[in-house]
Structure 1
Amino acid sequence: MTKEGAVMDLWSLFHILLLLFTCSCASSAKIKPVVADEQLLWVGGQTEEVHTYRIPLITFTPQGSLLAFSEARKKSAKDIGAKFIALRRSTDRGNTWSPTSFIVDDGSLADGLNLGSVVVDEETGAVIIIYSLCFHHYQCKTSFTMLIESLDDGLTWSPPRSLNSQLGVKSFAPGPGFGIQKRHPPAVGRLVVCGHGSIAGDGVFCLLSDDHGQTWRYGAELKSIPYTQPKNNLDFEPDECQPVELEDGSIVVNIRNNMNYHCRCRMVAHSLDGGESLPVEQLVFDTTLVDPAVAAGALQKDGVLYFTNPASAQSRVNLTLRWSLNRGKSWVKDTLKIWPGPSGYSCMTSLKGNGTEDQKYIYVVFEKGLKESIESISFVKVNLYSDQ
């Protein structure tokens, strides 16, 4: 290489680093989220069919729609009992929503469905939901991991099919939240759905599919201590979780710290091999993400990591949006308080288009109430760049 070529390469490298630094500073300066719109999607007790709506999920579709789901608990607010999976659909970026439809009905099961994870295969256009039956073994003996899918933008859904022939009868509760499709190496195109087990096999586990959801197998696991035994306060029990793929191809799994092991905050695990493993050496406790032991939301968008939860060590109140510019190593001090009152589980998504609207907004669904967090499920449209 000539001297002039070496100088040019150094100058090019300097220019790239300067550009990256400038972009990073610009991103830091312009993120200023505000709530642009809010609508109640479901309110408990309004019909004879449904007592309580819980466990909100939301996802985009490759066609540009938004799909919001929830557990419609028929007779009580308890985790056990018969339920529907409820769906509302928006084709105009959350401005209006379809009436509620029930896409799964578990009948009168004593230990009915647990709504788990929704995952979108952007190559096939399929929207897949994985959920469980008989998770708690309450008046039943065999757990089932179930799957339904839509191939027409959420308009119609396949009959439920059991994955037990592939996965066995382990009690497994996906999510709740969304699964991911790997966009970056390793394992590009793989579907990854993470969740937690019951006492008979508790901890965090991930399901993997390399054939667009036709077959599934277990991959990564992060087992509790003591494993397969009842837990006491301060024991190590990773629980409900949300995976997110970062732009370097690694997977971050943000986890409910169910027994407040080490702190009243979130556990964060990392997979560097496409969801095959969650090494304990990569596990951290994020003390900034104070948490009352709840299912939380996480989302990666345009190089920024977002997080929602009730930001309280003791109670499910104060639903808050945070964001990180360095893959979750630290969090910007500014926050957006979405709702100061009772609030519980949350889930986020964003649309994948290149238009200004799609780059500007993220969408949040969360449990919201005046006296209790489980009174309703609310949809919030967040403008990330309110000063633009």
Structure 2
Amino acid sequence: MYSSNPLLLIVVIFLNSLLSFSQKSDLKFYEVFSTSKNSKVSCYRIPSIITTDKGTLIAAADERVLSCGDLKLNRDINIVIRTSNDEGKSWSSINRIINYPSGESASDPSMIFDRKMKQIYLFYNYMNLDKDKDSYYLKYITSLDNGLTWSKPIDITDQISKPEWKNDFKFITSGRGFQTQDGILLHCLVNLQKGTHIFGSNDHGKTWYITDTPISPGDESKIVELNDRSWLVNSRVNNKGIRYSHISKDQGKNWTTKPESKLIDPGCNASLIKYDYGNYIKSDLLLFSSINNQSERKEIAIRHSLNGGKTWSDPKLIYAGSAAYSSMTVLNNGDIGLLFEMDNYSKNVFTTFSLHWLMNDL
């Protein structure tokens, strides 16, 4: 039965149109890592995701067996991956690519895909809790076949750290690093006592170096290169309620730091990527996923910047519930993929959305 009140009828039609739009824009979440599928694992944490030149998605995470504790507190953390060849609709079985004996743990996966060498670098932090507790070792493995097989671990601690840092709380930031226009590999090393430093390789991983000038304030950080070849680092800073950005125009010798009052944050890892696809190749379009809450780890959202991080859009909410670390990648079809921790670290889920969806109806 229809109402005889025309105003009420207009309101009903309007609300129905809103409901229809909401349903069309709903995101689908695919469980990639979940404790519900493995009762022997306490939690899967610390997501990392990249897209290879063949369009394959490589998703990595910590498999924390005995507890959800971090590296220093956990005698059994493995690194696991899953791959997808259909833009994240289906995933391979879990592949445990780093699995040390009990008492030795690996944590905080991050990846770079080398466009020239067609090679995946997967970095992680290692600790032997029985023989060398409190000493963090910095390692990586590589794959030349889309993540099917992996090299033996390569220890680069001596190249990207300093002897006096041996017992400092230092680690390679999880998520992903960056490859510049000139092919240089760049990544972030956090030292909570000495500041964050950028490390990199000019020869596709044959040798590695670390910049001398520390970035501060900065905990877990992400780096991208802008079109003018300046470096932009976006950093987690605990107990501030916001993010901080750092710009270097001389490859890390000097830094200009700016508090990002619009990028609120409770003290949590985030993801920063450059969108190089279609009409935006050679642009400074940046995408940023983070927790849009100053006090709790919930409400994961995406922002974009059309000017290399000078200004940021309002947040586009992805999930309103409990969430934490995230990692983004651009798919071969131009859509954006997001892997993030959901529901009190019980699972890591993957979702996709188009750039049009992200940039419209904010």
TM-score range, shorter chain: 0.7 to 0.9
Q: Offset at 1:167? A: 3.4
Match status 1:219 vs 2:211: yes
Find the partner of 2:123 among 122, 130, 149: 130
Inter-partner Cα distance in structure 2 for 1:35 and 1:348: 19
Match status 1:102 vs 2:96: yes
Structure with more relative contact order (C-alpha pairs < 8 Å, separation 6 or more):
1
- Structure 2 unmatched ranges of 5 or more: 1-23
Relative distance call for 1:220 and 1:350 in structure 2 (3 A) is farther
Q: Offset at 1:36? A: 4.6
1:93 aligned partner: 87
Q: Offset at 1:198? A: 4.0
Equivalent residue letter for 1:101: N
For residue 257 of structure 1, give the secondary structure of its aligned residue in structure 2.
Answer: coil
Find the partner of 2:300 among 308, 313, 319: 319
Equivalent residue letter for 1:362: I
Deviates more, 1:291-300 or 1:140-149: 140-149
Deviates more, 1:375-384 or 1:101-110: 101-110
- Structure 1 unmatched ranges of 5 or more: 1-32, 225-236
Match status 1:67 vs 2:61: no
Match status 1:277 vs 2:253: yes
Find the partner of 2:220 among 224, 240, 252: 240
Relative distance call for 1:250 and 1:384 in structure 2 (3 A) is same
Cα offsets for 1:363-385 (capped at 9, x unmatched): 0011100xx2x111010111222
What is the count of residue pairs matched by the alignment? Answer: 321
2:112 aligned partner: 119
Inter-partner Cα distance in structure 1 for 2:346 and 2:123: 25
Inter-partner Cα distance in structure 1 for 2:139 and 2:243: 28
Q: Offset at 1:294? A: 0.4
Q: Offset at 1:240? A: 0.2
What pairs up with 1:1-388 in 2 under 5 angstroms?
A: 34=25, 36-44=27-35, 46-79=37-70, 80-81=73-74, 82-109=76-103, 112-134=105-127, 140-168=133-161, 170=165, 172-183=170-181, 188-199=182-193, 201=194, 203-219=195-211, 221-224=213-216, 237-260=217-240, 264-274=241-251, 276-279=252-255, 282-301=256-275, 302=280, 303=283, 304-333=285-314, 335-351=315-331, 353=332, 358-359=333-334, 361-369=335-343, 372=344, 374-386=345-357
For residue 219 of structure 2, give the secondary structure of its aligned residue in structure 1.
Answer: strand
Relative distance call for 1:218 and 1:140 in structure 2 (3 A) is same
For residue 166 of structure 1, give the secondary structure of its aligned residue in structure 2.
Answer: helix
Q: Offset at 1:161? A: 1.8
Poorly superposed stretches of 4+, deviation over 3 Å: 33-37, 135-139, 167-172
Inter-partner Cα distance in structure 2 for 1:101 and 1:56: 15
TM-score (ref. length: structure 2): 0.82
Query: RMSD of aligned C-alpha atoms?
Result: 2.4
1:11 aligned partner: none
Residues 58 and 349 in structure 1, CA contact (< 8 A), matched pair in contact too: yes
Q: Offset at 1:92? A: 1.6
Q: Offset at 1:220? A: 5.3
Inter-partner Cα distance in structure 1 for 2:258 and 2:131: 34
Equivalent residue letter for 2:82: R
Inter-partner Cα distance in structure 2 for 1:108 and 1:181: 35
Equivalent residue letter for 2:308: R
1:27 aligned partner: none
TM-score (ref. length: structure 1): 0.77
1:29 aligned partner: none
Residues 215 and 246 in structure 2, CA contact (< 8 A), matched pair in contact too: no
Inter-partner Cα distance in structure 2 for 1:137 and 1:266: 36
Inter-partner Cα distance in structure 1 for 2:264 and 2:82: 31
Relative distance call for 1:278 and 1:156 in structure 2 (3 A) is farther
